[in-house]
Structure 1
């Protein structure tokens, strides 16, 4: 291991091995477990996950953190390093690799364990955009070959908090956090001279944390939403979209509803909030309940389980199973791909938020409560003009300029009037 510290790593040719895994256990006491290449549980990660569960973190947080920890452990295994002996040079090298190298290509499960020369090269699909290029319909870039800045920032935050936890705990031989704070922010209290009239700034950032550009929420224009809606194949899918775009609920939240949670008489539907796990009733549009009733009548005739405590959303084919997030996302992806777009389910939440904030009779306090936001300041980004609005305003400006050029010149004054008198009267505005 000492030799690995004395020579520079060949990061340019380094390939992150696909060893180890993050496995779901189905146990609420341990939802996810990080497993090493020989099938043994990684104990430091298990202890950290237990602490996150005690802090009321949902299982989705463990899954998100676990993927970052698995990426770091694969680097440690490839370099022959122990997790508690990693130095800041190791964190620096892997952060640099994530910044410049291409993301590893995931091996299909049919080809796992085979020799790389035996794996056929996948044929590129006709008409598919190059990785990272913007979609011509939505303007959203496609998934690129490099790690996104948000992915690298999330990785840095997870690893820094992971090592801070074990430093406070005194685990192993750990003496220093490999992911330190920025040199300028390491000492002193963050926001020490904060002005109460200003927003708090993130002054405790990591040294290797990249700058993440602010994301602009993407909305689905009304005309395009109509086209997507018209391309859906079932009443269930139409009801789902109508609820998503009218309630502003997250995609996973709406899928937690049971049949007793939909109350057409009160025009509300109940969901379990993602972060707090609280139950909340959300107002929905009347047409959402119309499509829901059509879906229920059709589903019950086919034999879908019926009961107040039964899930509200089910698969369309036997065997009947509650609809999960990945299946709902695949349904929506197929619908938008017919238009050549790459909107996501979360863009429906953005669309609902834009519609509510643009209503002058809708207070932002109500919008904040419906969306489940902790702070009203998070709605400020929805008050700015969207990409489509900016483009439409710019095109309208150019159209006015062209119309102004094409307009005929004003007629000269009649010869019976004195030109000097007219200029005095109109302030010299005549040509």
Structure 2
């Protein structure tokens, strides 16, 4: 089968919004990849079911399903069968993800309408351009292109998807269109590795991009106070206080029940994201104060009360347990007051920095609180942050400026000590 497609125009290609990834609310099959006619895509369904059997998180099929949907839309547009795709198709797809702009999402209220009748989103003149650094946090804003991490994740998903079906001998699939790096397929990985050194993470996919290492960012104390002051309810203040005090992930804290907040022991229980195990985390007294204020206010309004009831609820009727997307939008609104772009995960980084800054707090305890499998995961917090580097650099220039403005004269040479000379050369020098 020919591998080249000289007539394929990728510059004007726009990924069509056909098909969908449907959330079924069924624990046996939480997500389904549907074709343009609403029928399930069987190769993807088998792959996601096998992933669920491997004890993956329920959110993993959603992440993998979005990458499969993007690839299937590419195949549907060019009329390619999934088991007939060749390396040239994979190359064009990854090249398009690298150079093209991300397709603009159409709100579900505007789907099927005339594009000229869709109102344009309001933009602020002082808002930084997409992909540039935020003036408050220094973090880059969401750009128009696909991020390297997104492209790397997509390449890994598609390569493992085709490896899975090659092992099962599905359809007419003969080769994986997403191959490994050529010079690595002919030899054993790390065959010349020095056993005294750690193994390095290597790129395995031919079309896998290089992903820059991310440096965790903390929210400065003064900025955290401003964000906290911009919150609108006791519930939001309690959530923020618990996130910074416990270091729990955003979705982990939302799994807590009302019986999990034990004021006497000053702990709160959460369900860990990876292991799905229950763990009690120590927290600060202020967090329980805000929690009590929130509960008294919520129970008066009629929020369900009980030991097995969720701890966090929406602020308006009908009462529903608070979900991650709603909590994320809450924190985003508080950020917009300052013009910042911190995320909920930055609160976890802030809590980690606060724990590690305490010399009396052993690192192995911090590892257990954060739920990390390896202690070496904390090494990323030993790297200097952007704020630390800038602060140290400015202090260096200030010291240099101070030396130039007030040069100090060299101290005069001290006179010889006669007693020392007498010891060396005798008393005749005196």
TM-score (normalised: structure 2):
0.93
Q: Could you say which residue in structure 1 is the equivalent of 2:307?
A: 308
State the 1:268 CA deviation.
Answer: 0.9
Structure 2 SS opposite 1:23: strand
Return the offset for 1:114.
3.0
Task: Give, in angstroms, the shift of residue 389 of structure 1.
Answer: 1.2
Give matches, 1:139-218, under 5 Å: 139-203=138-202, 205-218=204-217
Distance 1:424 1:399, change over 3 A: farther
Within a 5 Å distance, the mapping from 1:243-282 to structure 2 comes to 243-282=242-281
Once the two structures are superposed, residues 165-200 of structure 1 have per-residue CA deviations (whole angstroms, 9 ceiling, x without a partner) of 000011110000010001121133222233343222
Q: Name the residue aligned to 1:85.
A: 84
Correspondence for 1:137: 136
**Aligned residue for 2:13?**
14
Alignment match, 1:358? 357
Deviation (angstroms), 1:120 = 4.9
- Where do residues 35-74 of structure 1 align in structure 2 (5 Å cutoff)? 35-74=34-73
Check 1:423–1:174 CA distance in 2 against 1; reply closer, same or farther (3 A cut): farther
Name the counterpart of 2:427: none
Task: Supply the distance in 1 between the matched residues of 2:415 and 2:398 (Cα, whole angstroms).
Answer: 31
Residues 1:13 and 1:290: Cα distance change in structure 2 (over 3 Å) = same
Residues 378-414 of structure 1 show CA distances to partners (whole Å, capped at 9, x for unaligned) of 110101222111111111111111111222543x98x
Deviation of 1:422 after TM superposition, in Å, equals: 4.2
**Structure 1 contact 190–203 (Cα < 8 Å) conserved:** no
Local SS of the residue matching 1:110: coil
State how 1:367-406 maps to structure 2 within 5 Å. Answer: 367-406=366-405
Q: What's the CA shift for 1:304? A: 1.0
| Segment drifting more, 312-321 vs 80-89 | 312-321
Moved more, 229-238 or 18-27: 229-238
Range with greater deviation from structure 2 (24-33 or 109-118): 109-118
Q: Which runs of 5+ in 2 are unaligned?
A: 418-430
CA gap of 1:187–1:291, structure 2 versus 1, over 3 A, is same
**TM-score (normalised: structure 1):** 0.93
CA offsets per residue over residues 125-152 of structure 1, 9 Å max, x none?
3322211010000000110011000000
- Separation in 1 of the partners of 2:273 and 2:25? 18
Gaps of at least 5 residues in structure 1 are 414-418, 426-431
- Measured against aligned partners, the alpha-carbon deviations of 1:44-103 in whole angstroms (never above 9, x if no partner) come to 000001000100111210000000000000000001000000001100011001101111
C-alpha RMSD of the superposition: 1.8
Counterpart-to-counterpart distance in 2, 1:389 and 1:369? 26
Separation in structure 2 between the aligned mates of residue 122 and residue 333 of structure 1, nearest angstrom: 17
1:270 is paired with a residue whose SS is strand
1:292 is aligned to: 291
Hey, what's the Cα distance between the residues in 2 that align with 1:58 and 1:93?
A: 31
8 A Cα contact 1:353 1:367, kept in partner:
yes
For the 8 Å contact 1:190–1:204, the answer to whether it is kept is no
Change (3 A) 1:123 1:293: closer
Contact 1:135/1:141, CA 8 A, preserved across alignment: yes
Q: Point out the more displaced range, 198-207 or 8-17.
A: 198-207
In structure 2, the residue matched to 1:320 is: 319
- Could you say which residue in structure 2 is the equivalent of 1:416? none
Question: Is this contact kept in 2: 1:163–1:177, CA < 8 A?
Answer: yes
- Size of the aligned set, in residue pairs, is 417
Cα distance, 1:16–1:225 mapped onto 2, change above 3 Å: same
Residue number in structure 2 paired with 1:111: 110
